[in-house]
Chains A and B, each alone.
Chain A
Amino acid sequence: MSQDIVHDSLEAPLGSTAERQAVVGAAGAAPGQDWVIVTRGIKREYDMGGEVVRALRGVDVAIRRNEYVAIMGPSGSGKSTLMNVIGCLDTPNAGEYWLNGTQVSKMSDDALARVRNKEIGFVFQTFNLLPRASALHNVELPLVYAGVPGEERRRRAKEALERVQLGGRIDHRPNELSGGQRQRVAIARALVNNPSILLADEPTGNLDSATSEEIMKVFESLADQGQTVIMVTHEPDIAAHARRVIVLRDGMVHSDERRSTFVEKLGLPA
């Protein structure tokens, strides 16, 4: 399985390829403290009206705390499925998925809901804000499901909105905000419960390039502050913001390399 990892010597702080191979290879064993995500031979198949679609065919990924990783791939490569699995919205048919030292690949629906609530902050391409709720209420939602009492909930939601420079717009509804602002509300919502990972799915897909740049700066600064960020995208120039780029192809890891290598290969400006 480890042959799926395309070797590129990634040194500290990203850790070496050997280290990742070691942690991925130790099937059944809980990974160490600093590994946020470890997947071992994850497979996911769908039954589409009798035809079996093999979306993931054995994916091995190991991501440390504080990494900023982009998952790339053409459509049909399985990147959305991988994101759903990593985001605990879906469970694999085979293989292990360890999130923050806990194996979540065999959890029940409700247990997965807990994990999504506590460990994962989603940012979607289409923002996915509740249209009739204010920015504040949208950001409060994860805390509602975490059972945080009202006072503290509002305080923390306000803080999260201030972190994305939207402190002055807490009472606005999504349709009163620009695309960039909506996405920042979504980021605030993703961060409000202090998740282990921030999981962004094409976060700039619905934004113009200037606003995209602005959102990428937000991710940049979050990553600088130590937030683990995983971003799924099919745009190389967006992926190039991450410090490590995993490319999927046909449901398997095609390459896994640090940003400089990736940028060099694509001939993008560094």
Chain B
Amino acid sequence: MPFVEAIRLALQQIWVQKLKSFFTLLGVMIGVTFLIAVVSIVGGMSRYMTDQVVGKIMAVNSFELRHRPNINLGEMTEERWRELRRRPRIKESDIQPVTDALPPDVRWAAVGNDNLSAQSRYVAKPRQVNAFTVTDGYFDVKKMAPVSGRLFSPQEYERGMPVIVIGQDVANYFFPALDPVGRELVVRGIPYTVVGVMEKQGSAFGISFDKFIVAPHKSPINRYVNAHNVIDAIMIQTASREGLLSTMETVRQVMRARHHLRPSQKDDFELETSDSALEFWNKIKSYLVFAGVALPAIGLVVGAIVIMNIMLVAVAERTREIGIRKSLGARRRDIMSQFLVESATLSTVGAALGVATGFAFAKLIAAVTPLPAAVELWSVLVGIGIGAGVGIVAGVYPASRASRLDPITALRAE
């Protein structure tokens, strides 16, 4: 019997017994619903981590040369901590050799960073700000632009002028209802002129990315950010994803040579990418996905048992029909495929309904909780695939029973 014919027949059979079919496929439907919902929420969180959290800290196709990882998610052993503490800092003298080795289309910037207390004459209380001291490639790499004012001029970089650009939160706190551009912010007793206010960066997990000030690397602020000659990081951004690994390798070799590391020794510096920052999250994610798949699997097993049961009933109820079909020339495999297709169709319909409700469920969770949700195509395909698979597995036994019925006995059945 042609496949399309078998599906048409199966759908007809399902349609004739709507309520019974619905209860039959409920198990599969619930299983797939949870599969889709969990995968969507995990997927949504993953996207949130990538785009909102790490993406805000790290620029695209970039890595940072640091002495220790900046983003630490996950457990840290005593041993690892000691190893990190023994590492030498990155020096200003490292900038030249590292950047000289880079291919021409690579952008870079040296960055220092610390929390410092700042004050303005408009607000009585001083406040901590995230202070960055940067070389001239910084704003290009981070793709940050001012909403008012300007960035630094080459002269300001070169001469280390006391100028800063500030984030939105800094502007709002220290210059309430004022235009900050041209006004002064005092850090460690030295006044800095605000030349620009940067666009809003947003937040992750309630932590704002707009509480920063940025000053030229050579400005006086640098001595409060880092010890003499020390920098926190060199940010390096390649033009494409492909160039990233080879550029990282180039930098690694330069740094290993400068630190006189023997081949047996591990790196005593960090080349941190957004991927390495996401490593811990990915570990959590794999647990979540596993749980998200294992729990619905129970639903699917129950669903399979229900379908098998119902199919056995259907075979018993339709013994006469099987006899008729056999007397008209249906072979074993025709009967087998008829019932297999029927149970597969039944559970695929269940899976499709499950995809729809899972989608709705994920959207609902996204709407009423801070958890984001993103329905991923693969989970839809896997959900429907699993549905069909469950139906086939559950249908094999009833279908083979149907196919082995003796036509004479079957024709005599009531």
A interface residue numbers (CB < 8 A to B): 84, 87, 89-90, 109-110, 113-114, 116-118, 122, 124, 128-130, 132, 141-142, 144-147, 189, 193
Contact = CB atoms under 8 A, between A and B. Distances in A.
* B: interface residue count bin: 20 to 34
A144 B1 contact: yes
A114 B408 contact: no
Contacts of B330: 113, 117, 145
A141 B333 CA distance: 16
Given A89-B407, A89-B408, A128-B411, A141 B331 contact: no
Nearest to A121: B328
A146 B321 contact: no
B334 to A, nearest CB: 6
Nearest to B407: A89
A142 B328 contact: yes
The 6 A-B pairs with the shortest beta carbon distances in the complex, nearest first, are A117-B329, A145-B329, A113-B331, A110-B331, A142-B328, A128-B324
Contacts of B217: none
A89 B320 CA distance: 14
Contact of A145 (B1, B12, B320, B321): B1
A84 B408 contact: yes
Interface of B: 1-2, 5, 12, 16, 320-321, 323-334, 407-408, 411
Contacts, number: 61
A128 B1 contact: no
Contacts of A144: 1-2, 5
11 contacts: A89-B411, A113-B326, A113-B334, A116-B329, A118-B329, A122-B327, A128-B327, A129-B324, A132-B12, A144-B2, A146-B329
Contacts of B12: 132
B332 A132 contact: no
A189 to B, nearest CB: 7
B240 to A, nearest CB: 54
Nearest to B335: A113
Nearest to A201: B411
A109 B329 contact: no
A130 B321 contact: yes
Contact of B328 (A110, A132, A141, A147): A141
A124 B411 contact: yes
